[in-house]
Amino acid sequence: MMLRTRLLIAQAPLAVALAVVVVITVVTTSALGRAGESILADNYRSVLAAQRMKESIERLDSGALFLVISERERGLALAAEHRPAFERELQVEEQNITEPGEREAASALREAWTRYEADYDALLATTGDLRSRYLEVLQPGFGRVKAAADEILALNQDAMVLKSVHLRRRSEFVQTVLVVGVLAALVLGLLASAALSSRALRPIAVLGQSVRRLGQGDYAARMRIPDGAGSEISQLASDFNAMAESLQRYRDSSLGELLEAQLAAQATIDSLPDPVIVFDATGKVTNANRAAEHILGIRASDGNLSAAPPAVRERVDRMRGEVLAGAPTVQPRGFEDALVVESSDGNRALLPRANPVSSDEGQLLGVTVVLQDITRVRRFDELKDDLVATVAHEFRTPLTSLRMAIHLLAEQSVGPLNEKQLDLIGAAREECERLQGIVDDLLDLARIRSGRLELHPREISTELMLEQARQAARDGSEQRHVPVDLEIQPGAELVTADPDRIDLALSNLLTNAVRHGPPGRPVRVRALRKDGGVRIEVQDDGPGIAPEYQPRLFEKFYRIPGSAPGGAGLGLSIVRDVVEAHGGKVGVESAPGAGAVFWIELPDQQASVGGAQASA
């Protein structure tokens, strides 16, 4: 039997149940409809007749009153109209006796009406005192007729109310029976259909077990279907067994070994705790490990980064584009390039780096982007910054006392010193000043890194700003005989910056340039207009910097191997942080033996602490 036929038969009980539900619904609806029609047929006509008779008797009474007040024509007109109408409705009532006691009430009404007609005819024939005749005879007859009509009306209305209550109760009972019948039919139909469907689909379950075994690597799994399972299932089992045999042969071949190597490589990538994303040469995502899926929501099946957080998507897209455009590698500058990503485990700091994937012939095949999880390392760095800031702050007070004591000794305020003693005090004084500079740098760096550096940018004179920086480096310049030349090109006369903070950055640049410049050769400071802002270059003729050291020059505590002692390696880090806080950029251009050019770029528009804008 065909599987489709077996499934159709399995649905037959449910169809029968639905048919039973339809029959029950039709029967109950018809019964309720007939009960409602019975109320209308039995009582509504009697109620309508009683109301019309009451209206007619009232009009006849009004006609009698017209006769009393000598409006005979109007009274006769009302009598001619409503006496036949009352008689018609009374006959209708007499022919529609439906309730117990209604026949007696109709007979009483007929008797009262006959007597009232006789009294009414007598009133019409009277020529004397009509008023007395009306009050003594006709009005009491009017009351009797109206009371008899009211009794018939009340009798039928009460019957309608009782029938409505009975109908409501019957409706509730029928509704209960209907709900129970429907539920019973559906439950029985579903149970029968489920049993038949399970029996019909049992071969599919067998197939599922075989597929799972095959997916777990058991290529010897075969599907065995009993007779009578259906031609489609038998054909499917045959095809599955053929596929399993092919996979087993494939696994035993060299291609199978290649597949296992690929799976091993994928397992290796998946075992990495850091997100790894692989792109092909067109920029499409071809692979992503489990960490990328768990932390960033990126799946290789999507083929793109649409599920990644916007900041991650933008950075990775840019790095991928740079590598595909020919960059040998894209490395982060430091922890400041880390991306903060929200995940179920809390915020993570990821440091991205991109490397090309090339063939043995050097052909670019794609790009691999690794987002190193530096959450713990970054936290340790923050703890280190806190420790350094605390130590520097604690050094400040005793260092101040030490400097004051050395100053008093150098000035011989506590007594004369010989020449040897003065030399020692001078050396101590220089070292104290150097230590004070390191402490100040540490405190400045701590304020910048903690976000407590307040900037209030405004438009200032470039010449005045550079002159203040030159004065700050004046002592070293005069001692080493390294003059500082200033050049301000047209368009760069004004710059937008916080004067105090930018002076700190420029002073560090000039101090470094003077320290490394050869005596007698000037340090050249140039300000020029560039890219919607002002670029300031500090150029020296020193020994230059090798390319391998340049990427780390702006890191904290970094000193070029073999460089002369002095400083703690914080000056350029402070320069970078101050400039970037202004929304600007820093950089260096140098080569061994060719001096160095350190530059900063400050944009024309920058946000102040309160969110205001300063514009050039």
| Structural domains counted in the chain | 4
CATH number of the structural domain spanning residue 429: 1.10.287.130
24, 377, 378, 386 from 383: Cα distances, Å: 78, 10, 9, 5
Q: Please state, for a pLDDT cut of 70, what percent of the chain lies above it.
A: 80
Clarify whether residues 422 and 467 are in a common domain: no
Residues 343 and 476 grouped into a single domain: no
Q: Which residues contact 388 (CB under 8 A, 6 or more apart)?
A: 442, 446
Residue 471 shares a structural domain with residue 554: yes
CA angle 30, 35, 41 (to 5 degrees): 120
Query: If DSSP codes are grouped into helix, strand and coil, which group holds residue 501?
Result: helix
Which of 331, 353, 372 delimits the end of a domain?
372
Task: Say which CATH number the domain at 364 has.
Answer: 3.30.450.20
Q: What is the pLDDT of residue 614?
A: 36
Instruction: Please check whether residues 305 and 406 belong to one and the same domain.
Output: no
CB of 193 within 8 A of CB of 8?
A: no
258 in a domain, yes or no?
no
Q: What is the CATH number of the domain that holds 466?
A: 3.30.565.10
pLDDT by residue (tens digit) across 488-506?
Answer: 999 889 999 988 888 888 9
pLDDT digits (tens, 9 = 90+) for 68-79: 888 888 888 888
- Is 583 within the bounds of a domain? yes
Q: What is the mean predicted confidence (pLDDT) over 108-118?
A: 90
Clarify whether residues 138 and 283 are in a common domain.
no
Of residues 254 and 297, which shows the higher confidence score?
297
Q: Do 526 and 421 share a structural domain? A: no
Mean pLDDT of the chain: 80
Q: Which of 447, 463, 495 is the last residue of a domain?
A: 447
366 and 489, same domain (yes or no): no
Average pLDDT over residues 144-148: 90
pLDDT in tens, 507-549: 889 988 998 888 989 999 999 998 888 999 999 998 888 888 8
Does residue 198 sit within a domain? no
Q: What is the CATH number of the domain that holds 43?
A: 1.20.1420
DSSP string, 21-54: HHHHHHHHHHHHHHHHHHHIIIIIHHHHHHHHHH
Same structural domain, 352 and 490 = no
Among the residues of 450-486, which ranges form H helices?
Answer: 462-472, 474-480
Residue 21 domain boundaries: 3-191
Nearest in space to 553 (alpha carbons), one of 599, 518, 507: 599
Domain boundary among 167, 191, 215: 191
Choose the weakest-confidence range: 12-16, 58-62, 447-451.
447-451
For the whole prediction, is pTM greater than 0.75? no
Q: What is the pLDDT of residue 194?
A: 74
Residues 288 and 347 placed together within one structural domain of the fold? yes
Tell whether 63 and 118 lie within a shared domain. Answer: yes
Residues, the chain, total? 616
**Does 49 fall in a domain?**
yes
Residues 129 and 58 in one domain: yes
Residue 579 lies in a domain: yes
Cβ neighbours, 10 Å, residue 64: 22
238 in a structural domain:
no
Residue 347 has a CB neighbour count (10 Å cut-off) of 9
Instruction: Say if 242 falls within a structural domain.
Output: no
Is 252 within the bounds of a domain?
Answer: no
Residue 603, strand partner residues: 533
CB 486 within 8 A of CB 525: yes
- Tell whether 466 and 545 lie within a shared domain: yes
